[in-house]
Amino acid sequence: MTKSEKLHRSIRIKENIPLYIMLLLPLLFFIIFSYIPMFGAVIAFKDYRFIDGIMGSNWVGLRNFKMIFAQPHTLDIIRNTLVISLLSVLVSFPFPIILAILLNEVRLKWFKKASQTILYLPHFFSWVIVGGIIINVFSVNHGPINLIIEAFGGEPIQFMFNHTAWMAIFLGSGIWKDAGFNAIIYLAALSSIDPTYYEAAVMDGANKWKQITKVTLPALYPTIVLTFILATGKIMEVGFDRIYVLQNPVVKNMSDVVATFIYEMGIQQGEFSITTAMGLFDSIVSLILVLLANRLAKISGNALF
């Protein structure tokens, strides 16, 4: 490195000192709350006891993992997690894209802002609130849906105790709660599209559908690939609060997932070693899925790394 290059580098570093200071806090946050706790993963290979601590507990190797996979119920939990997560990704993923495109086509500013506010609002509700609303709406006694069915001469339906209906409600509640907020990233991508592309498409005789398929969607493609890779990494992460508030004993056999297993075994029964092993297995599967999704994305030249 020449003297002039060293001087230029030094000047550039000094100019960016405020940015480095701003970066310091997020770095500390991730180091303290994400990287340091990774040390606790060693509990998965130990017979952990509070009195002995992490380092003092006996090393048992892969015994905890063998115990997990020796139980048929555990395999059902992993299957439920994969099925529910895959359905959530496949069903929910297109909605924010469609919603962003529809909002982008709205020309009345007041209507667009009002629609965005209404659509974003559910995201800020706790799942406890959302779960309470859903349970009351689909309640057999005095639920609005069943009241309408009864008004037309039908019999009340136990939506929350029917496996198919419960799954549909579970997936629909996720879409209602998060689709509006998740559309923000696509709206940001849409705002960066050069308007001259649409003008050229109109001059070539393209209707609105052609403009969306030939201009809008190709421009969104890199963002769609990125969000899909991130969504793939969360396939094993079915939100505990969402499952817990909507779960009931009748559908427990299909709604028991890794998150509820960790809560019941770890928090309620104190089996910290087994639940840590399950959590570590969950993280490894998620990492593999992200790498596979990224490898597939490389084919189109839109890989994350």
CATH number for the domain harbouring residue 149: 1.10.3720.10
Report in angstroms the alpha-carbon separations of 127 from 35, 133, 183. Answer: 28, 10, 19
Tell me phi and psi for residue 42, to 5 degrees.
Answer: -65, -20
Are 71 and 218 members of one domain? yes
The reply to whether 166 falls in a domain is yes
Cβ within 8 Å of residue 282, ≥6 positions away: 81, 236, 237, 258
β-bridge partners, 46:
59
CA angle 151, 156, 162 (to 5 degrees): 145
What is residue 228's predicted lDDT score, i.e. its pLDDT?
82
pLDDT by residue, tens only, the chain of 305 residues: 677 777 777 778 888 888 888 889 989 999 998 888 888 888 888 888 878 888 888 888 888 888 888 887 888 888 888 888 888 888 888 999 999 998 888 888 888 888 888 888 888 888 889 988 998 999 888 889 988 988 888 888 889 898 899 999 999 998 999 888 889 889 888 888 888 888 888 888 888 888 888 888 888 888 888 888 778 777 777 778 888 888 888 888 888 888 888 888 888 888 888 888 888 888 888 888 778 877 776 766 665 55
The neighbour count for residue 167, using CB atoms within 10 Å, is 17
The reply to whether 281 falls in a domain is yes
Are 77 and 153 members of one domain? yes
Are 139 and 151 members of one domain? yes
Are 184 and 46 members of one domain? no
Distance, in Å, from the CA atom of 144 to the CA atom of 157, rounded to the nearest integer, reads 12
Are 171 and 272 members of one domain? yes
Please say which residue of 61, 96, 113 terminates a domain: 61
Whether 101 contacts 216, CB under 8 Å: yes
What is residue 38's predicted lDDT score, i.e. its pLDDT?
84
Please say which residue of 61, 81, 109 terminates a domain: 61
CA angle 242, 282, 49 (to 5 degrees): 95
Are 18 and 74 members of one domain? no
Q: Count the domains in the chain.
A: 2
Distance, in Å, from the CA atom of 160 to the CA atom of 81, rounded to the nearest integer, reads 19
What is residue 1's predicted lDDT score, i.e. its pLDDT?
60
Distance, in Å, from the CA atom of 175 to the CA atom of 214, rounded to the nearest integer, reads 27
What is residue 96's predicted lDDT score, i.e. its pLDDT?
92
Q: What is the dihedral of CA 81, 84, 88, 89, to 10 degrees?
A: 50
Which residue range forms the structural domain that includes residue 151? 64-299
What is residue 304's predicted lDDT score, i.e. its pLDDT?
57
Q: What is the dihedral of CA 79, 242, 119, 207, to 10 degrees?
A: 0
Are 209 and 79 members of one domain? yes
What is residue 257's predicted lDDT score, i.e. its pLDDT?
87
The reply to whether 305 falls in a domain is no
What is residue 260's predicted lDDT score, i.e. its pLDDT?
86
Distance, in Å, from the CA atom of 3 to the CA atom of 250, rounded to the nearest integer, reads 74
The reply to whether 227 falls in a domain is yes
The reply to whether 104 falls in a domain is yes
Are 146 and 90 members of one domain? yes
What is residue 300's predicted lDDT score, i.e. its pLDDT?
63
The neighbour count for residue 225, using CB atoms within 10 Å, is 19
Distance, in Å, from the CA atom of 186 to the CA atom of 292, rounded to the nearest integer, reads 24
Are 122 and 92 members of one domain? yes
What is residue 28's predicted lDDT score, i.e. its pLDDT?
92
Are 117 and 153 members of one domain? yes
SS3 142: coil
The reply to whether 304 falls in a domain is no
Are 71 and 174 members of one domain? yes
Are 30 and 72 members of one domain? no
What radius of gyration, in Å, describes the C-alpha atoms of the chain? Answer: 25
What is residue 207's predicted lDDT score, i.e. its pLDDT?
85
The reply to whether 168 falls in a domain is yes
Distance, in Å, from the CA atom of 86 to the CA atom of 232, rounded to the nearest integer, reads 9
